[in-house]
C-alpha cells in the first residue's frame, strides 16, 4: 500500500523515541501511579480516619468524575489548541493536586476527594492526549506497536503504586506516597524542549512550514526535502466541531462502548483490588499490597504481549480474543472465590489470569481509538470515547459498592455474598466488548492515517 502524507517520512529515530518515552512517562505511567495510589491509600486510612464504604466510594468516584471531565475536555482542547500545550497543562494539574493531597488534615476525606477530582481531571486529560499524539508520529506499519507501547505504562504505574505501598509506606507513610505524585513536575522542562507539536495538527491549521520543520527534526530529514501535498489531508484547514463526531458511527460506537465496558471493569478491578484481597483472603493491607504486585505484573505481561502482536494479528482479532479470555476467567473468579488449591487461594490465581486478559485489551482499544477517526476530530474522538468510558468507572464503583456493601471496608466483619455478582457484572461488561470487536470494530492495520481518513470521509 502506497503511503501518503507524513507516513512517507515517518521512521524510527532517537528523537522519535525520546518523544515516545516522555509521552509514556507523563501520559500513562506516572499519572496512573497518582490515579491508582488511592486504592492503597484507602486501605491505610480507613481505620484511623474511620472511613466507611460510602466515604471510600466517594473518594474513588471523585477521581472517576474528574476523568470524565478531563477526557472530554482535553479531547476538544487538543483539537483546537494543539497536543503539546494541553498535555503540559494536564501534567501540571495532576501533579500539583497530588502534592496538595499529601497535606490534607487527618480525617478530612472530603477535602481529599475534592483534590482527587482534579487529579482525575489531569490524568484523564493526559491519557486522552498521548495516544492520538503518538499515532500521528508513528510509522504506519508500527503504529499498533508504538501506540500500544504507551499504554503499557499504566500497569507499570500500578506496579509502582504496589511496590511503594508495600515497601515505602512503612517508611514515608501514606502522605509520602501522595507527595510522590508530584514527581512529574520535574519533567516539565523536558516536555517543553523535547516534545514537538503534531505536524498533522499543524497542517489542519494551515501551518505548513511549521509542520515541515517538525517532520525534519523528528525524522532527521533535510528540511528542503520535505514536501507536503495538502490534497493528501482531507481535513486541511477545517475547523473542529464536536458534533462532527456523530458523522462517524463505526469509530464512535467502537470507541465509546469498548471504553465504557473496559473502564467499568479495569478501573474497579485495579482500584478496589487491594481491598478485595483484604476482604476475600482475610489478610492485612500490606500483604494485599505485596500480592497485588504480581497482579500488576500479570497485567503488564498481557499488555506487552498483545502490543507486540497487534501489527501482526490485527486489532479486531486481538480485541475479541482478549475480551473473551477476560469474560471466562472473571466469571470463574467469582464462582470459585472461596476455594483453595492446597493453601493457595483459587480466587487469587484466577485474578492473576483474568487481569492478564483484561489489561491486554487496553493496547487494542487505544490503537483503534487513536487511528479510526479523521484528523479534524481525532483528539475529540478518542478524548470523548475515553471520557464517556470513564462513566463506566463511576457506574462500576456504584455497582461494586452496592453489591459488596460494608464488607469492603477493613474493620467490619465482611460478608462474601456480593463477590459472585460483582464478577458476573465484570464478565457481562467484557462480553459486550467481545461483541463490539467481533461485529463493529474497524480493522486499520498497516494503513496510513491519511488513507484511513479518506475512507472515513468517503473521498
Which CATH number characterizes residue 54's domain? 1.20.1250.20
What pLDDT score does 130 carry?
94
Number of Cβ within 10 Å of residue 435's Cβ equals 15
- If we measure between CA atoms, which residue out of 49, 60, 57, 63 comes closest to residue 405? 57
Give phi and psi for 167, each to the nearest 5: -115, -30
Question: What is the per-residue pLDDT for 241?
Answer: 64
- Kindly give, in sequence order, each residue whose CB lies less than 8 Å from that of residue 407, ignoring residues fewer than 6 positions away: 53, 279, 414, 415, 416, 418
Question: Which residues span the domain enclosing 85?
Answer: 5-457
| C-beta separation of 306 from 318 below 8 A | yes
Count: domains in the chain: 1
* Each residue's pLDDT expressed in tens, for the chain with a length of 459 residues: 556 678 888 899 999 999 999 999 999 888 888 877 887 888 788 888 888 767 877 887 888 889 889 988 998 899 889 999 999 999 999 999 999 999 999 989 899 999 999 999 999 999 999 999 999 999 988 999 999 999 888 878 877 887 888 888 889 988 999 999 999 999 999 999 999 999 989 988 889 899 999 999 999 998 888 888 766 665 555 555 667 788 888 999 999 999 999 999 998 888 777 777 877 787 887 788 788 889 888 988 999 999 999 999 999 999 999 999 999 999 998 898 778 787 778 889 999 999 999 999 999 999 999 888 888 888 889 999 998 998 888 888 788 877 776 444 433 444 566 788 889 999 999 999 999 999 999 888 888 887 777 777 665
Q: What is the pLDDT at residue 198?
A: 93
CA 112 to chain centroid: 22
Amino acid at each position: 500500500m502506497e503511503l501518503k502524507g507524513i507516513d512517507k517520512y515517518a521512521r524510527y529515530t532517537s528523537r522519535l523515541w525520546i518523544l515516545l518515552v516522555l509521552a509514556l512517562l507523563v501520559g500513562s505511567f506516572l499519572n496512573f501511579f497518582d490515579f491508582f495510589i488511592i486504592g492503597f491509600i484507602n486501605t491505610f486510612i480507613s481505620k484511623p480516619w474511620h472511613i466507611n464504604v460510602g466515604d471510600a466510594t466517594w473518594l474513588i468516584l471523585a477521581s472517576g468524575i474528574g476523568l470524565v471531565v478531563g477526557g472530554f475536555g482535553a479531547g476538544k482542547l487538543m483539537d483546537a489548541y494543539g497536543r503539546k500545550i494541553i498535555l503540559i497543562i494536564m501534567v501540571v494539574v495532576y501533579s500539583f493536586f497530588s502534592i496538595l493531597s499529601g497535606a490534607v488534615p487527618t480525617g478530612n476525606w472530603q477535602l481529599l476527594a475534592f483534590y482527587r477530582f482534579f487529579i482525575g481531571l489531569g490524568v484523564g486529560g493526559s491519557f486522552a492526549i498521548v495516544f492520538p499524539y503518538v499515532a500521528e508520529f508513528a510509522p504506519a506499519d508500527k503504529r499498533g506497536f508504538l501506540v500500544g507501547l504507551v499504554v503499557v505504562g499504566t500497569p507499570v504505574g500500578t506496579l509502582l503504586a504496589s511496590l511503594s505501598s508495600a515497601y515505602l509506606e512503612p517508611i514515608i507513610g501514606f502522605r509520602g506516597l501522595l507527595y510522590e505524585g508530584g514527581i512529574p513536575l520535574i519533567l516539565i522542562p523536558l516536555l517543553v524542549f523535547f516534545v514537538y507539536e503534531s505536524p498533522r495538527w499543524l497542517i489542519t491549521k494551515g501551518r505548513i512550514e511549521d509542520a515541515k520543520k517538525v517532520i525534519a527534526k523528528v525524522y532527521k530529514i533535510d528540511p528542503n526535502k520535505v514536501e507536503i501535498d495538502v490534497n493528501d489531508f482531507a481535513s486541511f484547514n477545517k475547523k473542529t466541531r464536536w458534533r462532527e463526531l456523530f458523522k462517524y458511527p463505526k469509530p464512535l460506537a467502537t470507541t465509546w462502548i469498548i471504553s465504557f465496558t473496559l473502564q467499568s471493569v479495569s478501573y474497579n478491578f485495579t482500584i478496589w483490588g487491594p481491598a478485595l484481597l483484604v476482604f476475600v483472603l482475610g489478610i492485612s493491607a500490606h500483604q494485599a499490597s505485596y500480592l497485588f504486585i504480581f497482579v500488576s505484573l500479570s497485567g503488564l505481561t498481557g499488555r506487552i504481549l498483545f502490543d507486540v502482536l497487534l501489527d501482526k494479528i490485527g486489532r479486531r482479532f486481538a480485541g475479541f480474543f482478549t475480551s473473551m479470555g477476560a469474560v471466562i476467567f472473571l466469571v470463574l473468579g467469582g464462582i470459585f472465590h472461596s476455594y483453595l488449591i492446597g493453601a493457595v487461594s483459587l480466587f487469587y490465581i484466577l485474578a492473576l489470569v483474568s487481569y492478564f486478559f483484561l489489561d491486554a485489551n487496553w493496547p487494542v482499544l487505544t490503537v483503534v481509538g487513536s487511528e479510526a477517526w479523521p484528523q479534524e476530530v481525532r483528539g475529540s474522538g478518542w478524548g470523548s470515547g475515553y471520557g464517556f468510558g470513564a462513566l463506566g468507572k463511576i457506574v462500576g464503583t456504584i455497582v461494586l459498592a452496592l453489591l459488596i456493601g460494608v464488607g469492603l471496608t477493613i474493620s467490619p466483619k465482611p460478608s462474601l455474598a456480593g463477590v459472585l455478582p460483582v464478577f458476573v457484572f465484570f464478565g457481562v461488561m467484557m462480553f459486550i466488548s467481545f461483541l463490539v470487536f467481533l461485529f463493529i470494530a474497524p480493522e486499520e492495520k498497516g494503513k496510513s492515517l491519511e488513507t484511513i481518513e479518506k475512507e472515513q470521509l468517503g473521498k
